[in-house]
Amino acid sequence: MLYTNLILTACLVLAVNLVECKKLPDFIPQCKKNDPKFDQCVLKAIEAVRPQLNKGIPKIRVPALEPLVIPQLNITRNLPNLDVKAYLSNIKVIGANTFSVTKLKCDTEALVLEMTVRLPLITATCNYDVDGRLLVIPLKGKGEFKGNFTDIVADVKGTGEIVSSKKGVKYVNIKTVRSKIKVGGQQSKVVNTDGDRNNEIITNTAFTFINQNWRQVLQVITPIMEETADAIIKSMGNNILRAIPYSELLPQ
């Protein structure tokens, strides 16, 4: 379930970009700052761009979504119910382009965005190297992971601010991102590849427990999912916005 945040990140960064970015390819409708139907315009823009998302949109730095590829991710936590060091690599997520934005509220003056994103099903695969403990279950070994996640809902609120470059050009900067993520269901499996029989037994035992008690496990790891998603959304979003002056982001 830690992998769910990766796909949500891609979808949410895309939506933030479409809300704020006005230097867009011709196939994306323009949305004016003072348009009383600004939110509806953005939703239409998201649907207009959907056919382009499988391969990505380099002009506005949107990555390919089918599959969404994340080269690597490091996770380190030392908490009462989760003490773990994990290195994930070659992460691939299928199903990103099935997202829907079911709620969108933009304040173009205060630079505040609230939205709800839903995903019916995603499949994630990766290589893992993990050592630690989840609740009372040890985690140890290297291998391959595959998981299916269903009925995902993310409520997100982001705030922005206007900053100036050394040359005096104004840009929008994402100041804060806060997300709440819910997962309706999951099923995952692993194949241990490090050749250690003891690690294989430990890993299989852990994932049997996770699949049988995934709601309890989800309560433990959801804050990490949300924290990771928030950090990645902010980083990726600001990378996009730094290339576009404020005067072009929200024209009158």
pLDDT digits (tens, 9 = 90+) for 196-248: 888 888 888 888 888 899 888 888 888 888 888 888 788 878 877 776 777 77
Going by pLDDT thresholds of 50, 70 and 90, the confidence category of residue 64 is confident
Going by pLDDT thresholds of 50, 70 and 90, the confidence category of residue 97 is confident
pLDDT digits (tens, 9 = 90+) for 14-43: 555 554 444 556 776 777 888 899 899 888
- Give the C-alpha separation, 128 to 189, whole Å: 12
Per-residue model confidence (pLDDT) at position 116? 95
Give 83's contacts (C-beta < 8 A, 6+ positions apart).
77, 132, 133
Domains delineated in the chain: 35-249 (3.15.10.30)
Give 193's contacts (C-beta < 8 A, 6+ positions apart).
142, 143, 144
Mean pLDDT over the full length of the chain: 83
Per-residue model confidence (pLDDT) at position 159? 95
Mean pLDDT throughout 66-93?
A: 90
Half-sphere exposure in the Cβ direction for 22 (13 Å, CA) = 17
What is the pTM (predicted TM-score) of this model?
A: 0.79
